[in-house]
Amino acid sequence: MTRLVITGGTIIDQRGERRGDVAVEDGRIVEVGVDTTAALTGDRTLDATGCIVSPGFVDLHVHLREPGKEEAETIETGSRAAALGGFTAVVAMPNTDPAQDSVAVVEFVRQQGERAGLCEVLPSGCITVGRNGDHLAPYGELSAAGVHLFTDDGNGVQDAQLMRRALEYAKPLGIVLAQHCEVSSLTKGAVMHEGSCCSRLGLPGWPALAEELMLFRDIELVRLTGVPMHFLHLSTARSVELVRQAKAEGLPVTAEATPHHFTLTDEMLESYDAVYKVNPPLRTSDDIAALKAGLADGTIDAIATDHAPHAPHTKEAPLDQAPPGMLGLETALALAVTELDLPMQRVLALLSWNPAAIAGVADRHGRPLEAGEPANLCVFDPTAEWTVVPANLASKSRNTPYAGRTLRGKVRHTVFAGDAVVEGGVALR
């Protein structure tokens, strides 16, 4: 049996921070040598000098494009990007073709993830069949097949009655419904945030209200039904306030924010470069400040990337024709470290154990680093500076809005199910 040891790092998990070496055997942590002078030894050593050793990250929101759009990404290339970003589990959004509204499709997605072997790919299910907003998807069958998070992401569920029924039906299953908040009648043709910038650029606007209105409706549905909901990619200041209020009232709601929404503003669209087109759109500096405050005070539970690969030629189109979305898996940690002025343990809560709980995988991801725990780990250097070069990314696509940006914080090793899948910043599979 191979014994893998991670030496010289600083462990940070939900229990706190300490210097320590970690030994892994057969998929589990077998020994943690805290504050000992004698380093642990093993058959294989991962050097963590100057690094933080933490539970692996969990991304609640990735688009892996398979099946249906393999020219943009496959489950294998997306899993590799995830592993390089320090993620050991990702929730695959259901807007594939065919959509993830049947056991056959979610099983396929899970198996492709297992074949790639780089992280755990957790298929989400649709709220409605085909994400069309008309009929409930078979939550019972999908839940029995291991699906925990259900969403029509890319579309908000427009029909209030249908959304109410979805929550009621979901109640005994213990699943979580996740909403892409967008009242579509307010965003017809919209390509960017509605405000002074879109008015000057002559582009149709996506008003903050379109998000906030559905978020408000769904919070009230949670109040009515008592069924938990998760809110995807909050983008506005008022959304943060609505969730803060709901939590203060004790409602079972959780929320995520993406790195691009807390780092970039709508003024990026002045370039008319479709790499900055995303849904919901980039907002204003006031919204960024509110998102950061929400990440700091626990209103927002998780950082999720909304990793959305698109083939280069589709992004080389005018803004109204290009698809929305940005890459995120390989830059998330660095953006959180560089742009959020938060204690490292808080950053890791947002990236690891909080989303693990929302995704229903808290039994194996985001665990404390102790003997007997599953070995899904990330080792990263919080001070290493690196420059984002699109061609060097593992994703099949190149649509990162951070090309040329120098960021701080780089993943050195990722251990998934006890095996090193990234070593020295290089994917081994």
Partner 1 sequence: MKHLLSVEDLTADDIHRLLELTDHMVEVSSRPIPKVPALRGKNVVSLFFEDSTRTRTSFDTAAKRLSADTMNFAVSSSSVNKGESLRDTIETISAMGVDAFVVRHKSSGAPQMITRWTNACIVNAGDGWHQHPTQALLDCYTIRTNLNRRDGFDGLRIAIVGDIKHSRVARSDVQAFTRLGAHVTLVAPPTLLPPSLDGWPVEVSHDLDSLLADLDVLYLLRVQRERMDDALLPSLEEYSALYGLTPTRAARLAPHALVMHPGPMNRGVEMVVDPSELPGSVILQQVTNGVAVRMAVLFTLLGSGSAASIGESA
Determine contact, residues 409/333, Cβ cutoff 8 Å: yes
Q: Counting contacts by CB under 8 A, is residue 383 touching partner 1?
A: no
Window 309-328: residues binding partner 1 (CB under 8 A) = 313, 316-321
- Residue 54 exposed, middle or buried by CB count within 10 Å (0-12, 13-18, 19+): buried
Residue in 1, 35, 37, 202 binding partner 1, rule: CB under 8 A? 202
* Residue of 163, 206, 240 lying closest to 324 (CA atoms): 206
Q: Counting contacts by CB under 8 A, is residue 200 touching partner 1?
A: yes
Contact region with partner 1 (CB under 8 A), list: 30-38, 95-103, 187-195, 337-345: 187-195
Residue in 20, 207, 280, 325 binding partner 1, rule: CB under 8 A? 207
Cα 358 to chain centroid distance, Å, stands at 11
Q: Counting contacts by CB under 8 A, is residue 424 touching partner 1?
A: no
Q: Counting contacts by CB under 8 A, is residue 285 touching partner 1?
A: no
Residue in 154, 205, 355, 418 binding partner 1, rule: CB under 8 A? 205
Task: Give the HSE-up count for residue 283: Cα atoms under 13 Å, Cβ half-sphere.
Answer: 25
Q: How far apart are CA 244 and CA 233, in angstroms?
A: 15
Contact region with partner 1 (CB under 8 A), list: 2-10, 50-58, 138-146, 197-205: 197-205
Q: Counting contacts by CB under 8 A, is residue 387 touching partner 1?
A: no
Q: Where are the beta strands (DSSP E) in 144-297?
A: 149-151, 176-179, 192-193, 205-206, 229-231, 253-257
Cα-Cα-Cα-Cα dihedral of 386, 387, 392, 396, to 10°?
Answer: 110
Positive or negative, the CA dihedral 383, 385, 388, 391 is: negative
When the beta carbons of 2 and 199 are compared against partner 1, the nearer one is 199
Q: Which residue has the tokens 């251990």?
A: 415
When the beta carbons of 236 and 254 are compared against partner 1, the nearer one is 236
User: Considering 306, 363, 381, 419, which one is annotated as catalytic?
Assistant: 306
When the beta carbons of 252 and 323 are compared against partner 1, the nearer one is 323
Q: Which residue has the tokens 């306030």?
A: 241
306 is an active site residue: yes
When the beta carbons of 162 and 201 are compared against partner 1, the nearer one is 201
Contact region with partner 1 (CB under 8 A), list: 9-17, 130-138, 198-206, 406-414: 198-206
Q: Counting contacts by CB under 8 A, is residue 341 touching partner 1?
A: no
Query: Least distance in Å: CB of 274 to partner 1?
Result: 8
Q: What is the radius of gyration, based on Cα positions, of the chain? A: 21
Cα-Cα-Cα-Cα dihedral of 80, 411, 106, 95, to 10°?
Answer: -90
When the beta carbons of 198 and 349 are compared against partner 1, the nearer one is 198
* Residue of 215, 338, 204, 395 lying closest to 281 (CA atoms): 204
Helix (H) or strand (E) run with residue 355 in it: helix 354-358
When the beta carbons of 173 and 319 are compared against partner 1, the nearer one is 319
Neighbours of 224 (CB within 10 A): 11
* Residue of 345, 387, 303, 334 lying closest to 62 (CA atoms): 303
Residue in 201, 296, 357, 428 binding partner 1, rule: CB under 8 A? 201
Q: Counting contacts by CB under 8 A, is residue 160 touching partner 1?
A: no
Q: Counting contacts by CB under 8 A, is residue 159 touching partner 1?
A: no
Q: Which residues pair with 256 in a beta bridge?
A: 302
When the beta carbons of 79 and 265 are compared against partner 1, the nearer one is 265
Q: Counting contacts by CB under 8 A, is residue 111 touching partner 1?
A: no
The footprint of partner 1 on this chain (CB under 8 A) covers a number of residues equal to: 22
Token pair recorded at residue 174: 């213990």
Total residues belonging to the chain: 429
Determine contact, residues 33/20, Cβ cutoff 8 Å: yes
Residue in 2, 196, 387, 406 binding partner 1, rule: CB under 8 A? 196
Q: How far apart are CA 209 and CA 213, in angstroms?
A: 6
Contact region with partner 1 (CB under 8 A), list: 202-210, 256-264, 329-337, 396-404: 202-210
Window 245-274: residues binding partner 1 (CB under 8 A) = 271-273
When the beta carbons of 117 and 312 are compared against partner 1, the nearer one is 312
Report the interface residues with partner 1, using CB under 8 A.
188, 194-196, 198-203, 205, 207, 271-273, 313, 316-321
Catalytic residues: 306
